[in-house]
């Protein structure tokens, strides 16, 4: 097929969606190197480094798609870009050690703007004891593009894949869910109001919690450390970037299991709950499908129950069941609902 035909025979990318697209593009990929333990399809790739594993994860953030600079401070953006990548390494039950940062910028940005981004990058690196070891700065035709690669390490027996959940395992989630989605709602609303009435000052004070969860997320280093202290290795793990429901589907599909979770057990912060109700949204819908939480979703063997039982900030939300039982939510009224995956699809926006 020549270039002309390639552009003519066209399947729109939005027809496939992000996950199917990556599947279609990489399904023929064969791992040839004996050191390639895990390739595409988990939060990070796993490479055999002799006495330990090296983890590699990469993410691209594009202005206008992943962030809006009209309400995202540049320093926060730099911070968050690092955090979301570290989160992918923690989600393998590993410890991030280094990052590389590539930035594409249009001439709309000044050196001072770039310095603000780097302040956020350096702050995140310092907070998580990670080194910035490489990168690339280039111009772009339009907007700001950040591409981060995070490197981490793990003992060989310690890595938690998406594929390890077993029937009977307990499903856990860290922190609380839904707040970043509500933070986004507020900022988008204020942006709209400002566009229509530029003299009105935005009222953001009452919404600090949900907004800060969106603009300045943290990665759950503390959870990984607590699990290690408790000698608990999760049977599977993933971080929540596309929404709890979507991540549960990843674990179920890759582990070949079913999942049942209880609505009443899904952790939602009181501020997020209030905010959802203010917007006329169902809090559980925000928690299930909002995304950008960067909390950890993991399964543990029932024999590890005592190890995590009293750990702070971990909620038990359900149980791994057989595949033919499907993926279900039991509502507060006791009714069973099929839980659809409904991650954010940037290509459909």
The distance of Cα 28 from the centroid of its chain, to the nearest Å, equals 26
Contact 86, 128 (CB under 8 A): yes
Q: For 261-297, give one letter per residue: b (16+ CB within 10 A) or e.
A: bbbeebbbbebbbbbbeeeebebbebbbbbbbbbbbb
CB of 15 to a copy of itself, least distance (A): 7
Tokens 């057989």 belong to 322
φ, ψ dihedrals at 192, nearest 5°: -65, -50
CB of 201 to a copy of itself, least distance (A): 14
Residue closer to a copy of itself by CB (options 82, 232) is 82
Residue closer to a copy of itself by CB (options 103, 187) is 103
CB of 200 to a copy of itself, least distance (A): 17
CB of 117 to a copy of itself, least distance (A): 9
Residue closer to a copy of itself by CB (options 132, 316) is 132
Which has the closest alpha carbon to 291: 190, 179, 145? 179
Distance in angstroms (rounded) separating the CA atoms of residues 162 and 152: 17
Residue closer to a copy of itself by CB (options 151, 314) is 151
Residue closer to a copy of itself by CB (options 298, 344) is 344
CB of 144 to a copy of itself, least distance (A): 10
């Amino acid at each position: 097929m020549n270039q002309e035909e390639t552009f003519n025979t066209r399947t729109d990318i939005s027809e496939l969606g992000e996950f199917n697209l990556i599947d279609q593009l990489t399904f023929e990929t064969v791992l040839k190197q004996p050191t390639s333990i895990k390739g595409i399809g988990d939060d990070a790739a796993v490479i055999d480094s002799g006495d330990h594993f090296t983890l590699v994860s990469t993410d691209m953030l594009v202005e206008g798609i992943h962030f809006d600079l009209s309400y995202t401070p540049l320093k926060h953006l730099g911070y968050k870009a690092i955090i979301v990548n570290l989160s992918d390494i923690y989600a393998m039950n590993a410890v991030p050690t280094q990052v590389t940062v590539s930035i594409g910028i249009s001439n709309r940005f000044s050196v001072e703007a770039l310095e603000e981004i780097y302040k956020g990058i350096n702050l995140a690196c310092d907070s998580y004891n990670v080194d910035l070891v490489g990168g690339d700065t280039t111009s772009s035709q339009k907007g700001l593009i950040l591409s981060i690669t995070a490197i981490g390490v793990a003992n060989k027996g310690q890595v938690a894949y998406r594929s390890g959940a077993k029937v009977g395992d307990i499903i856990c989630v860290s922190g609380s869910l839904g707040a970043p989605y509500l933070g986004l709602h507020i900022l988008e609303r204020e942006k709209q109001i400002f566009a229509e009435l530029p003299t009105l000052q935005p009222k953001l004070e009452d919404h600090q919690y949900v907004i800060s969860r969106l603009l300045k997320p943290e990665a759950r280093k503390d959870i990984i450390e607590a699990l290690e202290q408790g000698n608990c290795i999760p049977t599977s793990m993933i971080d929540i970037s596309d929404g709890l429901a979507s991540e549960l589907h990843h674990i179920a599909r890759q582990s070949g299991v079913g999942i049942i979770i209880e609505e009443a057990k899904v952790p939602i912060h009181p501020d997020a709950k209030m905010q959802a109700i203010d917007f006329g949204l169902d809090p559980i819908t925000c928690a299930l499908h909002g995304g950008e939480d960067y909390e950890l979703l993991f399964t543990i063997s029932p024999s590890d129950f005592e190890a995590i039982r009293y750990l702070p900030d971990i909620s038990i939300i359900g149980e791994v069941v057989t595949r033919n039982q499907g993926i279900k939510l039991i509502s507060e009224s006791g009714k069973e609902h099929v839980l659809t995956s409904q991650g954010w699809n940037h290509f459909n926006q």
